[in-house]
Structure 1
């Protein structure tokens, strides 16, 4: 009896807990803007890789190497996901979209510190976004199914550096392509022919809507055919003091005009174009252009054919980009000659 009485007294003195009150873990404090730090970490690592890949064309650690173009954004995505997984488990969707943001931040960083030009940045960012998602998805899988995400990340980060030292020993693959456009001009062939060989004082409003010029390619100023000791040469001037020659290889007045391009070391002053897309360089070159004039009822049909070479480890991506930019540029050039020829005809008819 006494024992039961003592147990009752002890139970009355013990603290009581409501059924609704359940012990909970103390909430873990999180860093401010925790969602952003993994993305920033991925972008910073990729920016460091870009600084490491500062070699010239054809040299080790050139930013045009496949080792950089494919693996730098992939490492960016992998670091982003790894740092995020250290905080908490992320969704499969996160593995895809977070690397997009990180690679965009990385590219913005290269522009901010002036180690990349606007042309390259705009052209390459879609490919970087894809490769960033590939890297992020791969790291997400590693984090979910293995116990060694950190060694995997270190190995992944070393891969572009190893390949960047080896890849220049291999020849660049050449791919030759061309684009063609045709436009009807309500003017006789002789006026179109004159416009082709004497294009002076070109105003930005006449050609500036072409996408190549929108993303930073200098605008044309003039293109005039002159007689020289080596034959007929079309001398071209662009903005930013860009200048080069078009050596005429086929001259059929009123019918056909063809030239090949000649670029010299001083054709493109520093800052006029991104080094990686230098025309006539190791990775890209314009080969020739042909204008064909065909008389039609009420005017002339003008056709332009432009051929070029691209030599990169990502020709599958670069070739359609160039196809779009040069095709769009060719359309605007034809419209320029149409406007000039028809305007000249209207003035002459007054």
Structure 2
């Protein structure tokens, strides 16, 4: 590779990456939170689109004519941006993994936009300049409109071959769970706190239950409906001030500004003389401007936690 080609290659990677880093600094600054917010469409969709458009627009015209170039070359500054923010602990691994699909798709769309302007036979610097500034103009408008607060339901169940009394005793109180028993693959991948145990002071309405997780996460639960060996409903409250700052990313804190768990229910259904179906569902709330995407992740995280606990309760009821 010649010196000129190297400079060109560095330019089409470095400039969009620097733009992304500067934008991340601005959107992540708490002083400007009322105008610029990372948990916004402007950051998650418009920023990577602009990165993609810049990458392609700064490229040589003969390369831009390639469809695959416009799709995949914008990914290079995106991955560079992710690498830098991760290495310097600007952003955590869970958040990066969650936004990766959006960033890659949006960057490719931006690549098509940048390619369109690049291949037009006139100067389009004005349009690219507007595109660069678009996230900065869109974010205050988005923050002014505000985020939607929407409840969602995560439903899971498991069939257990054991007497109702034995199943129920493992539901109301969950003895300590060792690391080897934890099968929650998604929460493990995202480095979320894992369940440790659940304690209940008595069986009945008004009882207090603690679901204790690693790293200081505790769900404070109050029983609102109780039918012995059949049903237990409870409110759920996580107190953000109890959770150490190193436990979860600030954007993913349970009980925080964007994500909260509201209530849950266990219900035991008799299928036949030997088998019961244990249902577990919970309601959680999201408050973002992109709930359509965030809800997919939140729902799967909640289901992963619930399925993990149900598997443990099944094993203990059947084998202990």
Which of the residues 78, 82, 103 maps onto 1:107? 82
Q: Which residue of 1 aligns with 2:15?
A: 41
Is the 8 Å Cα contact of residues 189 and 294 (structure 1) preserved in structure 2? no
d(CA) in 2 for partners of 1:138, 1:85: 15
Is the 8 Å Cα contact of residues 261 and 288 (structure 1) preserved in structure 2? yes
RMSD over equivalenced CA pairs, Å = 2.4
TM-score by length of 2: 0.90
Larger radius of gyration: 1
Is the 8 Å Cα contact of residues 27 and 33 (structure 2) preserved in structure 1? no
- SS class of match (1:179): strand
TM-score by length of 1: 0.83
TM-aligned CA deviation for residue 152 of structure 1: 2.0
- SS class of match (1:180): strand
Which of the residues 293, 301, 305 maps onto 1:317? 293
Is the 8 Å Cα contact of residues 244 and 267 (structure 1) preserved in structure 2? no
TM-aligned CA deviation for residue 142 of structure 1: 0.7
The worse-fitting range, judged by mean Cα deviation, of 335-344 and 163-172 is: 163-172
Is the 8 Å Cα contact of residues 68 and 160 (structure 1) preserved in structure 2? yes
TM-aligned CA deviation for residue 195 of structure 1: 1.0
Q: Which residue of 2 aligns with 1:21?
A: none
Question: Measured at CA, do residues 85 and 313 of structure 1 come closer, stay the same or move farther in structure 2, by a change above 3 Å?
Answer: farther
Q: Which residue of 1 aligns with 2:41?
A: 66
d(CA) in 2 for partners of 1:61, 1:87: 37
d(CA) in 2 for partners of 1:137, 1:282: 35
Q: Which residue of 2 aligns with 1:247?
A: 222
TM-aligned CA deviation for residue 200 of structure 1: 2.6
d(CA) in 2 for partners of 1:28, 1:304: 62
TM-aligned CA deviation for residue 144 of structure 1: 0.8
Is the 8 Å Cα contact of residues 53 and 110 (structure 2) preserved in structure 1? yes
1:51 aligns with 2:20: no
Which runs of structure 2 are paired with 1:1-350 in the superposition (5 Å)?
Answer: 30-32=4-6, 34-35=8-9, 37-56=11-30, 59-85=34-60, 89-227=64-202, 231-295=206-270, 296-344=272-320
Query: Which runs of 5 or more structure 1 residues have no equivalent in the other structure?
Result: 1-26, 345-350
d(CA) in 1 for partners of 2:62, 2:267: 64
d(CA) in 2 for partners of 1:282, 1:125: 22
What is the number of residues matched between the two proteins? Answer: 317
d(CA) in 1 for partners of 2:217, 2:154: 23
d(CA) in 2 for partners of 1:28, 1:217: 47
TM-aligned CA deviation for residue 89 of structure 1: 4.4
TM-aligned CA deviation for residue 67 of structure 1: 1.2
Query: Which runs of 5 or more structure 2 residues have no equivalent in the other structure?
Result: none
TM-aligned CA deviation for residue 37 of structure 1: 4.3
